[in-house]
Amino acid sequence: MTDNYEKALEAAHFLRSKLPKVPEILVVLGSGLGAFADTLEQSVRVDYRLIPHLPTSTVVGHHGRQVCGYTGGKCVAAMQGRFHFYEGYTLQQATFYLRIAKLLGIEKVILTNAAGGIDPSLAPGDLMLIDDHINLMAANPLQGLNDERFGPRFPDLTDAYDPDYRAIAREEAARLGIPLKSGVYAALLGPSYETPAEIRMIRCFGAHAVGMSTVPETIVARHMGMRVLGISCITNLAAGVLDQPINHEDVLEVGRQVADRFIPLLHAVIARM
Ligand code: HPA
């Protein structure tokens, strides 16, 4: 674990030498949502392959680079592509970029994702504020020895998704006339989509949407005391809700279609974080 701290420090030093300024907020862009990074001003791009000890992104629709730039006078680092458990990384590897971000000096995180809608109130194209999560990955990124320099052995996950940030997101969405639902996000390992029977089970558990990311990242961010805002883009209805199959191309396409609401909402929220 000591090893991880030193590696994260080395990567943070590298990024510090590439970026004009320490970013204030890290924004992680989910499948099909990468276009936000192109709207940042005076941006600097850093390919993940150049960042020491960072894995590379293997998923179609994820660029694998960090774009650092400005919006509303705030310096933001946007990750175009994240690392998933299903790609074969350990959860420690998949969340390592957050360790780097923390050691770089970033304290605020926006996690976005594509998700399948379970609750009948959700439709493809909806944006859903994450109020809470359910970890169904049967794994935890904090498993193993704890490095106290990052955070405590038993971190609290009450209000894992920052209540003040959620209030800001709701206010800004209302002000801009952007419909914003809210609910509980359940994360599964993937990469296969769920079966209809699994979706019926997850609905009974109290989840409104389902995906394959975000939960490990929230756990690691909260371990280090970073404040988290989570937003899901509902790209499809979960398995069995409609009598039709789910495919990754449709997920990416719907992600791209919500850009006209997703991008202005992110800019407005960032300005107030
Ligand atoms: N299930 C899991 N992950 C997803 C889905 C889904 O239906 N849609 C987008 N990501």
Residues 33-82 pLDDT 10s: 889 999 999 999 998 989 999 887 666 656 789 999 999 889 999 999 88
pLDDT of residue 254: 87
Please tell me the pTM assigned to this model: 0.95
What's the farthest any 2 CA atoms get from each other in the chain?
Answer: 52
236 lines ligand 1 (CB under 6 A): yes
Cα of 85 to ligand 1 centre, how many Å? 14
- Return the ligand 1 atom nearest residue 239 CA: 7
Rounded CA gap, 9 and 4, in Å? Answer: 8
Cα of 232 to ligand 1 centre, how many Å? 10
- Contacts with 120 (C-beta within 8 Å, 6 or more apart), sequence order: none
Using 50 as the pLDDT threshold, list the residues of the chain that sit under it. Answer: none
Cα of 193 to ligand 1 centre, how many Å? 6
Beta carbons of 60 and 248 less than 8 angstroms apart: yes
Beta carbons of 116 and 193 less than 8 angstroms apart: yes
Structure tokens at 1: 């674990």
211 lines ligand 1 (CB under 6 A): yes
Tell me, which fold does domain 2-272 have in CATH?
A: Rossmann fold (3.40.50)
The SS3 call for residue 76 is strand
